[in-house]
A and B are shown apart, each in its own frame.
Chain A
């Protein structure tokens, strides 16, 4: 399911934190992003202490939790989304909620229609679940030795974090991102997707010179924090997508 998204060419991945603005709004937003050209969705599960995230996603998670979003809502969300869409879905989560909920949660997510999972704070050495395709992250600090091991284990795609530090809207890409991507493309056995900080069309365009896909997260989450209308989200998605003529 995830791999099929890459058959048509470069892939546009969007991230949203579910429950920010309520589950109905998350659902409308997800569909609007798909309508705007997004090929794959990362479903951010709210966590109390998101250490890999910058202020935009931190605040979205806090609002979602304060609004009463529960882990079980993830399943409801996927089930509801699947009534309207077959877009590939990857859970984007911190480890402790998944650890507490155990394999049953992963089974339920799979049954509801989730395709993959990315656990931000779980090193590949610790990953044991076999229920969902597990996507791993490599970063600018990943050594060559670990890179080949992680690349061999990642399923669906390999996620390259093209910035040092946490998620967030940034103005440009560091120069090392391009040399890193070239190196990673040579080693990877799956498509390579680049994310963290991509918030402009030109950045996405540059990344696609080497990567098989790009992720836009905080930029959309920021707009969803302002309760942007579904139409507006579709327009923003179209405008940032370098595969589209302006």
Chain B
């Protein structure tokens, strides 16, 4: 608990320290490439007979996904706390690459835990982490995916907390992580709201984001939570079927539990053993959802549903062909939902989608499996 209390104290003071915030803001602008663009995708909208659709282009952020917002924030904080070593878990490898990047930029030692299965399906990101000077440790326990990488990172931290910060990649885990990660990702929603207003004079009718741990989703939702006219939709990994182990849809097949230090919706068996998950996208392949989403689900503020692997691949191909944008498989879940419901909206409505990452990392795996 002591390392968490230390982090909480440091985070609380940093969160209202104008110097820290200005420094982070400068790095996000000058190094990471913020603000990211907001793009209207009329061809994609036409192809699915939909209303106006706008993509928040986190795929254009340095390293190719929203993860860098959080990694830079946490690593800057860790440096201020006097930590010299950073550890992180990664699923798709996006958070690993983002953390390795932040560590290279801020001169911190970096160790990334990654499930062996994920290393095989996300090889380009593993190579990038090596190039960035990080050590990547293959986790060969359990399902050898994201949850096992988190387990291993926690075990490391329980030993190394004195000089090490655990840079958790999503709005998950024990307090203060969910709150802190959501704060670092809230820049997505703030920018998108302003940009959309500048371009259309309006607020969105619908905001859609994929939900693994849920950091990109909470980041974009946060700007619209107070406006009940904006409908918010979170899309989980529907995988290949409805049975336990075939998907990562916590709100469909899960129930409340306590895992990795938070009380939230979990995929588990009747004995409370954590279930295996499946998703075509490594970034959504995790049995627990961030606790803020569990709260928004119970309050009914956000509607959660899921997209299946085959629908996701169709949306992935469609965006590439119609708009020249190759989305990450994670973000393609949000697009798949939009493709399914778009025709129900009158043409003057506005759908905002968080395009949380780009899809280059997914190509070798999809090509190898003959899915393109």
Q: Which residues of A contact B (CB under 8 A)?
A: 47-52, 54, 58, 62, 65, 70-71, 95-101, 121-123, 141-143, 146, 164-166
Residues of chain A within 8 A (CB-CB) of B5 are 143
Residues of B within 8 A of A97 (CB): 271-273
A205 to chain B, nearest CB (A): 25
Across the two chains, which residue of chain B brings its CB closest to A50?
Answer: B151
Taking the complex as formed, is B70 at the interface, i.e. its CB lies under 8 A from any CB of chain A?
A: no
What are 10 A-to-B residue pairs whose CB atoms are below 8 Å? A48-B142, A51-B155, A96-B259, A100-B270, A100-B271, A122-B258, A123-B1, A141-B2, A164-B161, A165-B155
* Minimum distance in angstroms from A233 CB to a CB of chain B: 26
Known: A51-B151, A96-B258, A100-B257. A142 touches B2 (CB 8 A): yes
Which of chain A's residues has its CB closest to B259's CB?
A96
Q: In the docked arrangement, what's the CA distance between A98 and B271, Å? A: 8
Task: For the A-B complex with A50-B151, A51-B155, A96-B266 known, give 18 more contacts whose Cβ atoms are closer than 8 Å.
Answer: A48-B274, A51-B158, A51-B260, A52-B155, A58-B141, A62-B142, A71-B271, A96-B259, A96-B274, A100-B257, A100-B271, A100-B272, A121-B258, A121-B261, A146-B2, A164-B158, A164-B160, A166-B159
B3 on the A face (CB < 8 A): yes
The A-contacting residues of B in range 245-299, CB under 8 angstroms, are 257-261, 266, 268, 270-274
Minimum Cβ distance to chain B for residue A56 (Å): 13
Provide the residues of chain A in CB contact with B161, threshold 8 Å.
Answer: 141, 164
Q: Which of B48-72 contact A (CB under 8 A)?
A: none
Q: Which residues of A contact B259 (CB under 8 A)?
A: 49, 96
Q: Find the B residue at minimum CB distance from A70.
A: B271
Chain B: minimal CB distance from A96 (Å): 4
Query: Bound state CA distance, A122 and B1, in angstroms?
Result: 10
Interface flag for B147 (CB, 8 Å): yes
A165 touching B158, Cβ below 8 Å: yes
In contact, B273 and A47 (Cβ under 8 angstroms): yes
Q: Does B154 contact A (CB under 8 A)?
A: yes
Smallest beta-carbon distance B105→chain A, Å: 29
Q: Which residues of B contact A51 (CB under 8 A)?
A: 151, 154-155, 158, 260
A146: nearest residue on chain B (CB-CB)? B1
Chain B CB count within 10 A is highest, among A70, A97, A142, for A97
Pick from A100, A122, A141: contact of B3, CB below 8 A.
A141
Of chain B, the residue at the smallest CB distance from A122 is B258
**Set of chain A residues within 8 Å of B3, measured between Cβ atoms:** 141
Nearest-CB residue, chain A, relative to B156: A165
CA distance A141 to B3 in the complex (A): 8
Q: Which residues does chain A contribute within 8 Å of B142, judged by CB atoms?
A: 48-49, 62
- A-facing residues in B133-181 (Cβ within 8 Å): 141-142, 147-148, 151, 154-155, 158-161
Q: Which residues of B contact A (CB under 8 A)?
A: 1-3, 5, 141-142, 147-148, 151, 154-155, 158-161, 257-261, 266, 268, 270-274
Taking a contact as CB atoms closer than 8 A, the residue among A58, A98, A122, A143 that contacts B2 in the complex is A143
Tell me whether A96 and B158 are in contact (CB under 8 A).
no
Taking the nearest CB of chain B, how far is it from the CB of A12, in angstroms?
26
B226 to chain A, nearest CB (A): 30
Residue of B nearest to A46 (CB): B273
A161–chain B nearest beta-carbon distance, Å: 9
Docked complex Cα distance between A47 and B5 (Å): 27
In the complex, the answer to whether A166 meets B257 with C-beta atoms within 8 Å is no
The one of A65, A95, A165 in contact with B258, judged by C-beta atoms closer than 8 angstroms, is A95
How far is A98 from B5 in the complex, measured between Cα atoms in Å?
A: 26
Q: Are B141 and A52 in contact (CB under 8 A)?
A: no
Contact (A101, B147) CB under 8 Å given A51-B154, A95-B258: no
The residues of B that contact A58 with a CB separation of less than 8 Å are 141
Knowing A164-B158, A166-B158 touch, does A99 contact B274 (C-beta < 8 A)? no
Q: Which residues of A contact B160 (CB under 8 A)?
A: 164
Q: Which residues of A contact B2 (CB under 8 A)?
A: 141-143, 146
Which residues from chain B contact A70 at a C-beta distance below 8 Å?
A: 271
Residue of B154, B266, B273 touching A65 (CB-CB under 8 A) = B273
Q: How far is the CA of A158 from the CA of B193 in the complex (A)?
A: 53
Q: Among the interface residues B2, B158, B257, which one has the most CB atoms of the partner chain A within 10 A?
A: B158
Query: Contacts of A166 on B, CB cut-off 8 Å?
Result: 155, 158-159
* Shortest CB distance B337–A (Å): 30
CB-CB under 8 A from B271, the residues of chain A are 70-71, 97, 100-101
A165 x B272 contact (CB < 8 A): no
Max count, chain A CB within 10 A of own CB: residue among B142, B268, B273: B273
What are the residues of chain B within 8 A of A48 when measuring CB–CB? 142, 273-274
Task: In the A-B complex, list the 10 residue pairs whose CB atoms are closest, starting with the nearest.
Answer: A165-B159, A100-B272, A97-B272, A141-B2, A48-B273, A96-B272, A71-B271, A48-B274, A51-B154, A164-B159
Residues of B within 8 A of A122 (CB): 258
CA distance A122 to B96 in the complex (A): 29
A99 contacts B257, C-beta separation under 8 Å: yes
Chain A residues contacting B261 (CB-CB under 8 Å) are: 121
* A73 to B, closest residue via Cβ: B271
Interface centre among A98, A101, A165, by most chain B C-beta atoms within 10 angstroms, is A165
Give bound CA distance, A58 to B141, whole Å. 9
A71/B272 in contact, CB under 8 A: yes
Bound Cα distance A119, B117 (Å): 31
Q: How far is the CA of A123 from the CA of B257 in the complex (A)?
A: 15
Set of chain A residues within 8 Å of B147, measured between Cβ atoms: 49
Q: How far is the CA of A146 from the CA of B4 in the complex (A)?
A: 13
Whole-angstrom distance between the Cβ of B168 and the nearest chain A Cβ: 13
Q: How far is the CA of A164 from the CA of B161 in the complex (A)?
A: 9
A141 to B7, CA, bound (A): 14
Shortest CB-to-CB span from B40 to chain A, Å, is 43
